[in-house]
Structure 1
Amino acid sequence: MDLKILGWNDLWEQQWTRLDRKDTVPARVIGDFGHKYLVTTAFSADIWAEMTGKLQHELHNRSFFPAIGDWVAVQRLEGEERVIIHGILDRKTCISRQGAGSVTHEQIIAANVDTLFIVCALNNDFNVRRIERYLIMAWNSGVNPVILLSKADLCLDVNERLRLIQEASIDVPLHVISAHNN
Structure 2
Amino acid sequence: MELTELGLDRALAEQATCGSGQRLARVTAVDRGRYVVRDEQGEVPAEPTGKFLHAAASSVDMPCVGDWVCVQYHDVSSHASIHDVVPRRSFLRRKSPGKNIDFQMIAANIDVAFIVQSCHFDFNVRRLERYLVMVNEGQIEPVLLLTKTDLVSAAELERMLDSIRAAGITARIVTLSNVTGEGVDQVKGLMVPGKTYCLLGSSGVGKTTLINQLLGRDALETAAVSGTGEGRHTTTRRHLVVLDNGALLIDMPGMRELGILSAGEGLDDSFADIKSLVARCRFADCSHNNEPGCAIRKAIESGELNPEHYQSYLKLKAESDFNEMSYVDKRKKDKAFGKMVKTVLKKDKRK
Q: TM-score, normalised by structure 1?
A: 0.92
Secondary structure in 2 matching 1:13: helix
Specify the alignment match of 2:176 in structure 1: 177
| Count of residue pairs brought into register by the alignment | 179
Of 134, 143, 147, the residue aligned with 1:146 is 143
Structure 1 position 169, deviation (Å): 5.0
The 8 Å contact of residues 35 and 51 in structure 1, kept in 2 or not, is answered as no
Change beyond 3 A, Cα 1:7–1:125 = same
Deviations 1:105-138 (A, max 9, x none): 1111101111000011111332111111111111
Give the corresponding residue for 1:103: 100
- Work out which of the two has the higher radius of gyration on C-alpha atoms and give 1 or 2: 2
Deviation (angstroms), 1:165: 1.3
Q: Is the 8 A contact 2:18 2:24 kept in 1?
A: no
Structure 2 Cα separation of the partners of residues 124 and 35 of structure 1: 33
What is the rounded CA distance, in whole Å, between the counterparts of 1:100 and 1:170 in structure 2? 26
Structure 1: which 5+ runs fail to align?
none
Separation in structure 2 between the aligned mates of residue 67 and residue 114 of structure 1, nearest angstrom: 16
Q: Match of 1:49?
A: 46
1:8 and 2:8 are equivalent in the alignment: yes
Whether 1:127 and 2:124 are equivalent positions in the alignment is yes
Please tell me the residue identity of whatever aligns with 1:51: P
The structure with the largest helix share of the pair is 2
> 2:114–2:145: 8 Å Cα contact kept in structure 1?
yes
Given candidates 56, 60, 70, the residue that maps to 1:59 is 56
Q: More displaced, 66-75 or 92-101?
A: 92-101
In the alignment, which residue of structure 2 is the partner of 1:25?
Answer: 23
Pick closer, same or farther for the CA change 1:145–1:23 going to 2, 3 Å.
same
Counterpart mapping for 1:79-98 below 5 A: 79=76, 81-98=78-95
Counterpart in the other structure of 1:38 = 36
Instruction: Please report how far the alpha carbon of residue 101 of structure 1 lies from its aligned counterpart in structure 2 after TM superposition.
Output: 3.0
Is contact 2:12–2:89 with CA below 8 Å preserved after alignment?
A: no
Give the Cα–Cα distance (whole angstroms) in 1 for the partners of residues 179 and 83 of structure 2: 48
Q: Partner residue of 2:166?
A: 167
Question: Which residue of structure 1 aligns with residue 231 of structure 2?
Answer: none
Which residue identity lines up with residue 150 of structure 2 in the other structure?
D
**Change over 3 Å in CA distance of 1:113–1:20 after alignment to 2:** closer
Q: Which has the higher strand share?
A: 1
Runs of 4+ in 1 over 4 A off after TM superposition: none
Aligned equivalents of 1:137, 1:149: Cα separation in 2 = 18
Is 2:149–2:176's contact at 8 Å kept on the other side of the alignment?
A: yes
Shift of the 69–163 alpha-carbon distance from structure 1 to 2, 3 Å rule, reads same
Q: Kindly report the root-mean-square deviation, in angstroms, between the aligned alpha carbons of the 2 structures.
A: 1.5
2:228 is aligned to: none
In structure 2, C-alpha distance between the alignment counterparts of 1:78 and 1:48, rounded to whole Å: 12
Q: Under a length normalisation based on structure 2, what TM-score does the superposition of the two structures give?
A: 0.49
Q: Secondary structure at the match of 2:158?
A: helix
Instruction: Tell me how far apart the structure 2 counterparts of residues 115 and 80 of structure 1 sit (CA, whole Å).
Output: 32
Tell me if structure 2 keeps the 8 A contact 1:73–1:85.
Answer: yes
Query: How far apart in 1 are the matches of 2:131 and 2:72?
Result: 37
Partner secondary structure for residue 66 of structure 1: coil
The structure-2 alpha-carbon separation of the partners of 1:72 and 1:63, relative to structure 1 and needing over 3 Å to count, comes to: same
Say if 1:75 and 1:169 are closer, same or farther in 2 by CA, change over 3 A. farther
Please tell me the residue identity of whatever aligns with 1:128.
Answer: V
SS of aligned partner of 1:153: helix
Q: Distance in 2 between matches of 1:53 and 1:35?
A: 14
| Aligned-pair CA distance for 1:179 | 2.5
Q: Secondary structure at the match of 2:13?
A: helix
Q: Please report how far the alpha carbon of residue 34 of structure 1 lies from its aligned counterpart in structure 2 after TM superposition.
A: 3.6
